[in-house]
Structure 1
């Protein structure tokens, strides 16, 4: 059973938050792809950070950032099991870990509250909870 979709106003807030996260990551020069609504699917091309929102009206919903491996790594895994074990999986795994750690630190420094809790289909993504309260 699928969760209910958030209200139109809540979805507009998710889209605004995703756009603000995209802006911060582009500002520091990271490759990003704004995918929008995760329920709508979207292009999945070369290695980049995907920014998307899940409009589910439960804990699995929200704005997310995840690293997407290169087409070359994905193709090697599919086409050459031997090279996948020797090269693609080890390099792809360490790259995913390093890029996820790096983008988390960047987002926190940019003032975002993030969560790396394993959440369903978004388990390798970072959830953006919102902007951190500013100190006065």
Structure 2
């Protein structure tokens, strides 16, 4: 299962997502939750999640900076921004970091959220199967050396 890290300084949001979303049915586990970007970065530095769901405006390190720093370590990190910010400048920053989606809290729809996660999981599975085929082909090539 893929690991999800949830980061938001609004504890009720973390609590709601932790309880409302049936993570395992989506093919993921809720690996960790954090109330600020700094704590999330420290945890991800030890054990990188596959999917990051983050707010933007948080103390100590905002979600844009967190995304930027984690993508420098793992460019394949899948990111969903979940924010109250509707201003285009924030969406543009997120797009520049190649996040997978940008959801607005005031318009939160659990079905839409689950669809976003399912799509990310499908993409991760596709990449994993492509990598597996590539590794197997290389293994075969190694054993078929002249």
Larger Rg: 2
Higher helix share: 2
TM-score by length of structure 2 reads 0.33
TM-score by length of structure 1 reads 0.34
